[in-house]
Amino acid sequence: MLPDKRRILCAETHQDTCSLITLLLERQGHEVKTGSSISHCLELARSESFDLYLLDDSYPDGTSIELCKKLRALDPQTPILFFSSACFEKDIREGMEAGAQAYLTKPGDILQVAETIKALLKPYSTDATSTDLNRR
Protein backbone atom coordinates (compact mmCIF):
# COMPACT_ATOMS: atom_id res chain seq x y z
CA MET A 1 0.00 0.00 0.00
CA LEU A 2 1.23 3.48 -0.85
CA PRO A 3 1.84 5.97 1.92
CA ASP A 4 -0.74 8.76 2.01
CA LYS A 5 1.81 11.49 1.31
CA ARG A 6 4.50 11.23 -1.31
CA ARG A 7 7.41 13.66 -1.03
CA ILE A 8 8.29 15.66 -4.14
CA LEU A 9 11.21 18.01 -4.69
CA CYS A 10 10.11 20.74 -7.11
CA ALA A 11 13.29 22.27 -8.54
CA GLU A 12 11.74 25.25 -10.30
CA THR A 13 13.20 28.73 -10.80
CA HIS A 14 10.00 30.50 -11.85
CA GLN A 15 8.12 31.36 -8.64
CA ASP A 16 4.62 31.43 -10.19
CA THR A 17 5.09 28.02 -11.83
CA CYS A 18 6.51 26.62 -8.61
CA SER A 19 3.58 27.95 -6.58
CA LEU A 20 1.03 26.52 -9.02
CA ILE A 21 2.68 23.09 -9.09
CA THR A 22 3.03 23.08 -5.31
CA LEU A 23 -0.63 23.99 -4.79
CA LEU A 24 -1.82 21.33 -7.24
CA LEU A 25 0.36 18.58 -5.76
CA GLU A 26 -0.47 19.48 -2.16
CA ARG A 27 -4.19 19.32 -3.00
CA GLN A 28 -3.53 15.81 -4.28
CA GLY A 29 -2.07 14.92 -0.90
CA HIS A 30 1.64 15.22 -1.62
CA GLU A 31 4.26 17.03 0.42
CA VAL A 32 6.29 19.42 -1.76
CA LYS A 33 9.68 20.94 -1.03
CA THR A 34 11.05 23.56 -3.40
CA GLY A 35 14.47 24.64 -4.53
CA SER A 36 15.56 27.17 -7.13
CA SER A 37 19.26 26.34 -7.47
CA ILE A 38 21.29 23.20 -8.04
CA SER A 39 23.15 23.66 -4.77
CA HIS A 40 19.94 24.04 -2.74
CA CYS A 41 18.28 21.06 -4.44
CA LEU A 42 21.32 18.85 -3.84
CA GLU A 43 21.43 19.95 -0.20
CA LEU A 44 17.78 18.91 0.17
CA ALA A 45 18.33 15.62 -1.68
CA ARG A 46 21.27 14.76 0.59
CA SER A 47 19.43 15.56 3.82
CA GLU A 48 15.90 14.31 3.04
CA SER A 49 14.29 11.52 1.06
CA PHE A 50 11.97 12.18 -1.87
CA ASP A 51 9.65 10.03 -3.95
CA LEU A 52 10.08 12.15 -7.10
CA TYR A 53 12.22 15.00 -8.44
CA LEU A 54 10.59 17.57 -10.74
CA LEU A 55 13.15 19.61 -12.71
CA ASP A 56 13.01 22.90 -14.63
CA ASP A 57 15.44 23.62 -17.51
CA SER A 58 18.05 25.91 -15.98
CA TYR A 59 19.23 27.32 -12.67
CA PRO A 60 21.42 30.25 -11.61
CA ASP A 61 24.26 27.79 -10.90
CA GLY A 62 23.91 25.37 -13.82
CA THR A 63 21.61 23.34 -16.05
CA SER A 64 18.90 20.82 -15.38
CA ILE A 65 21.01 18.16 -17.11
CA GLU A 66 23.76 18.79 -14.53
CA LEU A 67 21.23 18.60 -11.69
CA CYS A 68 19.69 15.43 -13.10
CA LYS A 69 23.08 13.70 -13.34
CA LYS A 70 24.01 14.77 -9.80
CA LEU A 71 20.67 13.58 -8.41
CA ARG A 72 21.08 10.30 -10.27
CA ALA A 73 24.55 9.84 -8.73
CA LEU A 74 23.06 10.39 -5.25
CA ASP A 75 19.89 8.41 -5.86
CA PRO A 76 19.70 5.96 -8.78
CA GLN A 77 16.07 4.93 -8.16
CA THR A 78 13.83 7.93 -7.50
CA PRO A 79 11.87 9.03 -10.60
CA ILE A 80 12.88 12.29 -12.27
CA LEU A 81 10.46 14.33 -14.37
CA PHE A 82 11.52 17.30 -16.48
CA PHE A 83 8.97 20.08 -16.94
CA SER A 84 11.05 22.28 -19.16
CA SER A 85 10.88 24.99 -21.79
CA ALA A 86 13.86 23.33 -23.51
CA CYS A 87 11.74 21.54 -26.09
CA PHE A 88 13.98 20.41 -28.95
CA GLU A 89 14.49 16.68 -29.55
CA LYS A 90 18.13 17.13 -28.47
CA ASP A 91 17.00 18.57 -25.12
CA ILE A 92 14.56 15.74 -24.50
CA ARG A 93 17.14 13.10 -25.47
CA GLU A 94 19.75 14.68 -23.16
CA GLY A 95 17.28 14.75 -20.27
CA MET A 96 16.35 11.12 -20.73
CA GLU A 97 19.99 10.08 -21.13
CA ALA A 98 20.86 11.98 -17.93
CA GLY A 99 18.46 9.72 -16.02
CA ALA A 100 14.93 11.13 -16.26
CA GLN A 101 11.91 8.85 -16.58
CA ALA A 102 9.72 11.43 -18.32
CA TYR A 103 10.02 14.79 -20.03
CA LEU A 104 7.19 17.31 -20.51
CA THR A 105 7.60 20.68 -22.18
CA LYS A 106 6.39 24.15 -21.21
CA PRO A 107 4.09 25.72 -21.74
CA GLY A 108 2.03 22.67 -21.08
CA ASP A 109 -1.04 21.41 -19.38
CA ILE A 110 -0.35 21.51 -15.64
CA LEU A 111 -2.85 18.69 -15.19
CA GLN A 112 -0.68 16.56 -17.49
CA VAL A 113 2.19 17.19 -15.09
CA ALA A 114 0.03 15.93 -12.22
CA GLU A 115 -1.05 12.86 -14.20
CA THR A 116 2.53 12.06 -15.16
CA ILE A 117 3.62 12.38 -11.54
CA LYS A 118 0.79 10.07 -10.51
CA ALA A 119 1.93 7.48 -13.07
CA LEU A 120 5.57 7.76 -12.02
CA LEU A 121 4.67 7.29 -8.36
CA LYS A 122 2.88 4.00 -9.00
CA PRO A 123 4.73 1.30 -7.11
CA TYR A 124 5.21 -0.97 -10.13
CA SER A 125 6.10 1.68 -12.71
CA THR A 126 8.42 0.22 -15.38
CA ASP A 127 10.69 1.68 -18.03
CA ALA A 128 8.09 0.64 -20.63
CA THR A 129 5.46 2.68 -18.81
CA SER A 130 7.71 5.72 -18.56
CA THR A 131 8.27 5.72 -22.32
CA ASP A 132 4.57 6.48 -22.76
CA LEU A 133 4.97 9.53 -20.52
CA ASN A 134 7.29 11.41 -22.87
CA ARG A 135 4.71 13.73 -24.38
CA ARG A 136 5.07 17.26 -25.57
Residue 123 has pLDDT above 80, yes or no: no
User: pLDDT band at 127, cuts 50/70/90?
Assistant: very low
Judge whether 134 lies within some domain.
no
**What is the predicted pLDDT for the residue at 36?**
92
Angle CA 134–112–21, to nearest 5? 115
Judge whether 2 lies within some domain.
no
- What CATH number should be reported for the domain holding residue 50? 3.40.50.2300
pLDDT digit string, tens, across residues 1-59: 344 589 999 999 999 988 999 999 999 999 999 999 999 999 999 999 999 999 998 89
| Closest of 56, 57, 51 to residue 118, by C-alpha | 51
Judge whether 38 lies within some domain.
yes
The DSSP element (H or E) to which 65 belongs, if any, is helix 64-74
Judge whether 24 lies within some domain.
yes
pLDDT digit string, tens, across residues 68-111: 999 999 999 999 999 998 889 999 999 999 999 999 998 888 88
Judge whether 1 lies within some domain.
no
Judge whether 135 lies within some domain.
no
Query: pTM (2 decimals)?
Result: 0.85
Angle CA 72–123–10, to nearest 5? 45
Task: Report yes or no: 11 and 54 within 8 Å, Cβ to Cβ.
Answer: yes
**What is the predicted pLDDT for the residue at 128?**
39
Q: Could you tell me the residue range of the domain that residue 93 belongs to?
A: 7-129
Choice between 115 and 108, residue whose per-residue pLDDT is larger? 115
Question: If you average pLDDT over every residue of the chain, what do you get?
Answer: 87
| Closest of 68, 16, 79, 6 to residue 38, by C-alpha | 68
The total number of structural domains that make up the chain: 1
Judge whether 118 lies within some domain.
yes
Judge whether 67 lies within some domain.
yes
| Closest of 19, 7, 13 to residue 60, by C-alpha | 13
